[in-house]
Structure 1
Amino acid sequence: MSEHRSTSRHRGSRKFLAVGLPVALTTAGLLVNGVGLAPQQASAATAAAAAPAWATATADGFASVDALGQNGTYGGRDGRIVTVRTQADLEKYATAAEPYVIVVAGTITMNPVGKEIKVASDKTIVGSGTSGHIVGGGFFLGQGVHNVIIRNLTIRDAYQGVWNDKEHDFDAVQMDGAHHVWIDHNDLRNMADGLIDVRKDSTYVTVSWNELSQNNKTFGIGWTENVTTDITIHHNWFRETEQRNPSTDNAAHAHLYNNFLEDVAGTSINSSYGNYSRGGTRMVLENSYFQGMKNPVIKDATATLVQRGNVFSGTSGRNESGGTAFDPRTYYAYTLDKAADVPALLRSGTGPRTTIGTTAATDVTAKAAAATTLTVAKDGTGQYKTVQAAVNAVPANNPSRVVVSIKPGTYRETVKVPSNKPHVTFQGTGGSRKDTVIVYNNAAGTRKPDGSGTYGTSGSATVAVEADDFQARNLTVSNDFDEGANQSLSGHQAVALRTAADKVFLDGVIVEGDQDTLLLDTAAKDRLGRVYVTNSYVVGNVDFVFGRATAVLDRSVITLKKRWDGSSAGYITAPSTAANRKGFLIANSTVNGDVSDRTFYLGRPWHAGGDASLDPQTTVRNTTLSAAIRTTPWTDMSGFSWKDDRFAEYRNTGSGSGSASSNRPHLTDAQAADQEIGDWLTDWTPTAS
């Protein structure tokens, strides 16, 4: 088969972020009509009732179609949940004849390098949160293998040092003649050959919500003269990939939508082409976003390709379409996101999720029984009309989870979760995190109604969390103080969210303001305060992530905002970390915003109260930086030099990234190995509850 080729080149060895956060999962037998059964003997309905949602999840797209004797793709749903931490155990269960949900809890390094475990039918292989890594190998699905789910894993680093490697067929996932396969929410990178190869008439395949990066031959479909394959490819982020993005040869029906193909400026890996419709392929390409790609969409004369609603920004070369294809809705239902929303959506939403693979069936049942739900609705249809009223109803020193379920609406109030009310979750119930908004407009200089003075910076918070084990999901916390209308006021710091607690988990939220948006603090100077923020947006302009907490912003978007007068100038972080503690880690994220180029610093050291004993720390790694970031991204504060504290980068990309220098320190690979997410969170695994 003809293939676009590039000249061979080498790339340096890579060491990647690996989060080792093992989760203990338990598995119990099931009771049916009072009779004890082995889990594999229980009915599908009984197993589904007992298992967590991620263990019973089913595919969408072509993998959901009833065909070839298989009604959809549900993997090992009907079998036991087992946890593996070794290659031997993974291979034992993956190759077994029985159905299994196999949870990978930790890093498994394949021996020999390049080994692809031969997966049997009726399997779900899922990473435990972000901890499931397969290093130096992958999975193979052979002829007739069906009903397989590969989900929430990081599969990486089988690269053998030769860019256009023709000797080492080391793929992350390869299938030859398989059907009904779902590949979802994985991080696939740096393999010797392909990240995904769908070969030899494999069909009824869905590939969704994956991050595919740092590879040459990324995603190939074909290796057959038959026009057989039906495949859906949606919500995948391709970045730092050269070719096959994907290359689709002789596919009967290829439906691609809401994908993000990004040629990242300033990296050594550049695209040669994007989506390729080859041979007898019939392709429908919808609402995808192409950023900087060369030859973003190409087709053979024999292929058909219908484009609808795609966005092309900074692309060059071939952009082709032609012929008639098919209507995907003939086969399955689906919903398109707006193409303009795709980059932000996929930067925060692709790859492994902390909420997948982290709770066993029996644990879920116990938590559900123990949890209390308090409903808030502004219109009076809930138990409470305000969020604070629901918090007030939480018993002091409550021993178990209390979920404050907040219906869509704008709640203009301040909220405080006091230290004697742990285990509280704020859960927005709308279809979007924008549907449920908690907002107020106090600033540091705002006078209190009782005349006792001003609020001060920490007191200005719209939401203040002082209780351990707090969680928030699917909502917005905002401070909409109007600086322009209050120029006479002294003290414009206006906090949206303040945390002063340990084990705070923010997932899928928006925290927005101007100056001092997100205060990540601890309950006291000698107390540990860990915060994990993921799949979220933080918006502001001056020191808008600040405090002394040990905090991780992972797979999130940091949005830079202009000042009240329309000017662009600001600072992202202002850590006030204690010596011998971890400060702020920004990882796998994106920094952007509608501001001028080279106007924002990544951070500066906040020695609160002039305390010279502090050792502020910010590390920004594996993150895409826009041109808004200054070429010297760190600066001094209040007479303290940033060079005396801990500020560094590692393997950032984008037009705002830069080479290492005395004014722009980069971590070495060895140093980076000690500055990973697990080093920040230590013995805590954030788990949704």
Structure 2
Amino acid sequence: MSEIRSTVRHRRRRTALTVGIPLALTAAGTMAYGADAGVFGEAAQSTAAAATAASAAPAWATATADGFASVNALGQNGTYGGRDGKTVTVKTLADLEKYATAAEPYVIVVAATITMDPVGKEIKVQSDKTIVGSGTSGQIVGGGFFLGSGVHNVIIRNLTIRDAYQGIWNDKDHDFDAIQMDGAHHVWIDHNDLRNMADGLIDVRKDSTYVTVSWNKLSNDNKAFGIGWTDNVVTDITIHHNWIRETEQRNPSTDNAAHAHLYNNFLEDVAGTTIKSSYGNYSRGATKMLLENSYFQGMNNPVIKDSTATIVQKGNTFVSTTGRNESGGTAFDAKTYYPYTLDKTADVPALLKSGAGPRGSIGTTATTKAAPAAPAATTLTVAKDGSGKYTTVQAAVNAVPANNASRVVISVKPGTYRELVKVPANKPHVTIQGTGASRKDTVIVYNNASGTPKPDGSGTYGTGGSASVAVEADDFQARNLTISNDFDEAKNQNLSGHQAVALRTAADKVFLDGVIVSGDQDTLLVDTAAKDRLGRVYMTNSYVIGNVDFIFGRATTVIDKSVITLKKRWDGTSAGYVTAPSTAANRKGILIANSTVNGDVSDRTFYLGRPWHAGGDASLDPQTTVRDTTLSAAIRTTPWTDMSGFSWKDDRFAEYRNSGPGAGAASSNRPQLTDAQATGQEIADWLGDWTPTAS
């Protein structure tokens, strides 16, 4: 392409707990900013009436809580939700309400976006329920859940609950929460994305107790998380591994809690946004709070307490915080009640950016019958030093049988593999996976460019042909490695163009997880096998590095919770374009979500994108949407531009809820999606019936 979340009644558990923790990043190094390393869950195919026996339930359906929710008390032995009941899949409000309010236990898989009617509706969940999203396809819009007095043994996991906001900040008239408890006990809230509600995101009220809130994302709200509102000192609550971001107050506010154990949370107030924190963790009344190994970034009054309350701080980190940071009194030893392990404080931001929120490994296998076991994957080992079966990646690809029916994993030991790699269309279900401790340890690199002579003398490479790694086979996966093109532009000024592709995909269901794709111009080409063929690409927990049109092509592409790094051009100048979509009409283009765009370049020098009408094809309808992403000052105030005579205004370019110094208000030159429009531009809308799942 040209330039283009009572007192002494507790008993310690005597058996090991089954703890719902996120999957570790597979042999991946820590990201500076990154991703929900989770992948998407497949929308279940059964109807709401379909059910499976509990004995056939997958692991996530039988998971039990950690923290205070795991403690045996009040006649309840830990928190395990609806695991003793049937598993049902719901896609409508009527079915969700039917099962959530039933007397018998259920595991309820939410496999669609369900809009509450009326707005603000809170379904009155009854005891012994697990409500779980199917990957990221389970979304509740415009309302939430209510757990009343005596309701117990409830798990709410892996859901996005969002957008009951009524346009009034600190809304006193609309008590529309994501999750509200009034006198409930034994509740586990885990791996949810809660945001943009009218009142609070989580309210734990009226002596609710034995609650664990873990691995959630709470964001974009006035009140994040309130606990208490009673004179009784009863509530026992564990709050760990939550990313609380861009919320003004109650982060959480903990009033008259007997034991509040907060650890490994990340509280973040992003500079340059309209939402300003008034305080972070607040110990009120007679609360005893133990606050350990949490990370506070940019927060005002990060830790505060009443004169009657207790906070014991251990191992916390404060970066760019201001105002009150308080501690005092004697708290408690949490290990008296349950076991837990602390993560290092310095690792918390990256850990939560990669692990909090919904995950594709949860809620994805609810079917009407037990699924047959998949064939075991074949593993082919590559090592430069000869310790593997193959010394090059391409040799391992060549050894994959044509039209293979099951997955083949090419396990590549650390090293730099200077070679061209092509996975042909007749070799689907291939995974190339680095085995090093970091994605930087295993590198596939070459240096062809458009115009580079072919070694056989048959002419020169074009842009697509320059790729270091070319993927033409469906259901391809790459993880924990770097794919690079190190073409030297400065030394090749004789070539008319400097397009040098690192990775070209021309296939459907391409899953890139924990990778670095690095180059300069035209780094990542996301193509399809033909103009009329669907090609979907999902990238997460990854980096893309480049300068000119370096994410481009006609594939339906999601870049989720990743880092897009801008770099200077060969001559040291700062100028470039992040995306150049060439989307066919009625198809989805490029979606960048929950990510960061940054780099060591000059301010206001990079466009977010421009329309590539490949070959001058006016029938194309290029699309880039950038949403819920942090933009550095490198992004121009007018972030879209024309290309080759085609106006970006005639195509589909938009933003939604971006933040950072490069974000801007809506204008004729900076289109912003409405909330209603944004509901149709979610990741699930891009991926359709495909659920990227690590294998």
TM-score w.r.t. the length of structure 1 is 0.84
1:224 is aligned to 230
1:304 is aligned to 310
Aligned with 1:369: secondary structure? coil
Query: Once structures 1 and 2 are overlaid, which stretch shifts more, 374-383 or 552-561?
Result: 374-383
Q: Aligned runs of 1:440-479 on 2, under 5 Å?
A: 440-444=445-449, 450=456, 455-472=461-478, 474-479=479-484
Instruction: Sort the Cα spacing of 1:269 and 1:488 in 2 relative to 1 into closer, same or farther, 3 A.
Output: closer
Q: Distance in 1 between matches of 2:322 and 2:607?
A: 32
Aligned with 1:93: secondary structure? helix
2:606 is aligned to 600
Q: Aligned runs of 1:497-508 on 2, under 5 Å?
A: 497-508=503-514
Asked if the contact 2:41–2:135 (Cα under 8 Å) also holds between the matched residues in 1, the reply is no
1:197 is aligned to 203
Partner residue of 1:39 out of 53, 78, 90? 53
Aligned with 1:352: secondary structure? coil
Q: CA RMSD in A?
A: 3.5
Shift of 1:685: 4.5
For the pair 1:648 / 2:662, whether they are aligned, the reply is: no
Shift of 1:247: 0.6
1:336 is aligned to 343
* Structure 2 letter corresponding to 1:136: G
1:309-355 Cα shifts (integer Å, max 9, x gaps): 5444443322223345445455323241453x544544454322233
1:164 is aligned to 170
Instruction: Sort the Cα spacing of 1:325 and 1:652 in 2 relative to 1 into closer, same or farther, 3 A.
Output: same
Percent pairwise identity: 79
Query: Once structures 1 and 2 are overlaid, which stretch shifts more, 63-72 or 418-427?
Result: 63-72
Q: Distance in 1 between matches of 2:360 and 2:377?
A: 22
Partner residue of 2:239 out of 216, 233, 239? 233
2:21 is aligned to none
Q: Distance in 2 between matches of 1:108 and 1:23?
A: 15
Q: Distance in 1 between matches of 2:387 and 2:58?
A: 29
Instruction: Sort the Cα spacing of 1:286 and 1:63 in 2 relative to 1 into closer, same or farther, 3 A.
Output: same
1:59-113 Cα shifts (integer Å, max 9, x gaps): 3333344555555433223332211123333233323444322101213333444
Instruction: Sort the Cα spacing of 1:110 and 1:512 in 2 relative to 1 into closer, same or farther, 3 A.
Output: same
Instruction: Sort the Cα spacing of 1:611 and 1:184 in 2 relative to 1 into closer, same or farther, 3 A.
Output: same
Q: Distance in 1 between matches of 2:309 and 2:572?
A: 50
Query: Once structures 1 and 2 are overlaid, which stretch shifts more, 144-153 or 612-621?
Result: 612-621
Q: Distance in 2 between matches of 1:206 and 1:486?
A: 59
Instruction: Sort the Cα spacing of 1:609 and 1:167 in 2 relative to 1 into closer, same or farther, 3 A.
Output: closer
1:666 is aligned to 672
Instruction: Sort the Cα spacing of 1:527 and 1:559 in 2 relative to 1 into closer, same or farther, 3 A.
Output: same
Shift of 1:307: 3.6
Shift of 1:408: 5.6
2:402 is aligned to 396
Q: Distance in 2 between matches of 1:170 and 1:682?
A: 30
Shift of 1:246: 0.8
Query: Once structures 1 and 2 are overlaid, which stretch shifts more, 114-123 or 80-89?
Result: 114-123
2:442 is aligned to 437
Instruction: Sort the Cα spacing of 1:439 and 1:427 in 2 relative to 1 into closer, same or farther, 3 A.
Output: closer
Shift of 1:128: 1.5
1:193-235 Cα shifts (integer Å, max 9, x gaps): 2211122333332222222123222201122334443333233
Aligned with 1:214: secondary structure? strand
Aligned with 2:108: secondary structure? strand
Shift of 1:300: 1.7
1:24 is aligned to 45
Asked if the contact 1:148–1:181 (Cα under 8 Å) also holds between the matched residues in 2, the reply is yes
Asked if the contact 1:433–1:510 (Cα under 8 Å) also holds between the matched residues in 2, the reply is no
Q: Distance in 1 between matches of 2:168 and 2:677?
A: 26
Structure 1: runs of 5+ lacking an equivalent: 1-18, 31-37, 41-46
For the pair 1:105 / 2:126, whether they are aligned, the reply is: no
Shift of 1:657: 1.0
Instruction: Sort the Cα spacing of 1:425 and 1:172 in 2 relative to 1 into closer, same or farther, 3 A.
Output: same
Q: Distance in 2 between matches of 1:234 and 1:511?
A: 33
For the pair 1:263 / 2:277, whether they are aligned, the reply is: no
Asked if the contact 2:610–2:648 (Cα under 8 Å) also holds between the matched residues in 1, the reply is yes
Aligned with 2:68: secondary structure? helix
Query: Once structures 1 and 2 are overlaid, which stretch shifts more, 448-457 or 626-635?
Result: 448-457
Asked if the contact 1:531–1:550 (Cα under 8 Å) also holds between the matched residues in 2, the reply is yes
Q: Aligned runs of 1:53-64 on 2, under 5 Å?
A: 53-64=59-70
Instruction: Sort the Cα spacing of 1:619 and 1:190 in 2 relative to 1 into closer, same or farther, 3 A.
Output: closer
Aligned with 1:218: secondary structure? strand
Aligned with 1:469: secondary structure? coil
Q: Aligned runs of 1:209-608 on 2, under 5 Å?
A: 209-265=215-271, 267-328=273-334, 331-339=338-346, 341-360=347-366, 365-366=371-372, 368-376=373-381, 378=383, 386-398=392-404, 400-404=405-409, 406=411, 409-410=414-415, 412=417, 413-426=419-432, 434=439, 437-444=442-449, 450=456, 455-472=461-478, 474-479=479-484, 481=486, 483=488, 486=491, 490=495, 492-563=498-569, 568-608=574-614
Give the length in aligned residue pairs.
Answer: 651
Shift of 1:514: 3.4
Instruction: Sort the Cα spacing of 1:498 and 1:232 in 2 relative to 1 into closer, same or farther, 3 A.
Output: farther
Structure 2: runs of 5+ lacking an equivalent: 1-39
